[in-house]
Amino acid sequence: MLSSATSKINQASVKQNCMIIVDCKDVEPILNELAIYVSDQVAAVPALKAHQFVLSPIEDDEEINQSEVVTSIKEFLESIGEKQSFAVISNSNKIMIKSILGKKIEREAKKSTEQMFSCAHCGHVTRYEVEHNNHVRIHYV
């Protein structure tokens, strides 16, 4: 009985270590865009929270390469001309994006007027309901 409980605790801690938390307090207006870009680059499932997003592996037995996540964040910041203003700090399973000079991104977050559909099985996201329905059916074939 004790060994099965210990096994479950070990499995839970392994699962927790597979997730990567990205703290975006200083870049909150671009949180959604950043989460989509990074999750596409590292093939992970993003979950948005108030000031951060969490990346989980698509398969339970996979791990996310943390250095690839850091590289993807830096690439995104460079693409919007903000690479020199922010540092990307990695510690354990948490990555923080911190302002170097106290600067915060001040632009308005992009508001999507279109509805997005997300697959509950794998996290695939599309704005087309027909495509979403066809995608979900593939999981049951």
Domain ranges of the chain: 2-103, 111-141
Topology annotation, domain 2-103: Gyrase A; domain 2 (3.30.1360)
Q: Which pLDDT value is given to residue 53? A: 93
Residue 100 has pLDDT above 80, yes or no: yes
Between 32 and 113, the more confident residue is: 32
- Encode 46-88 in three state secondary structure: EEECCCEEEEEECCCCCCCCHHHHHHHHHHHHHHCCCHHHEEE
**Residues 33-91: pLDDT tens digits?**
999 999 989 989 999 888 999 999 988 888 899 999 999 999 999 998 899 999 999 99
Q: Is the pLDDT of residue 116 over 80?
A: no
What pLDDT shows up at residue 13? Answer: 41
pLDDT at 88: 95
Give pLDDT, residue 35.
92
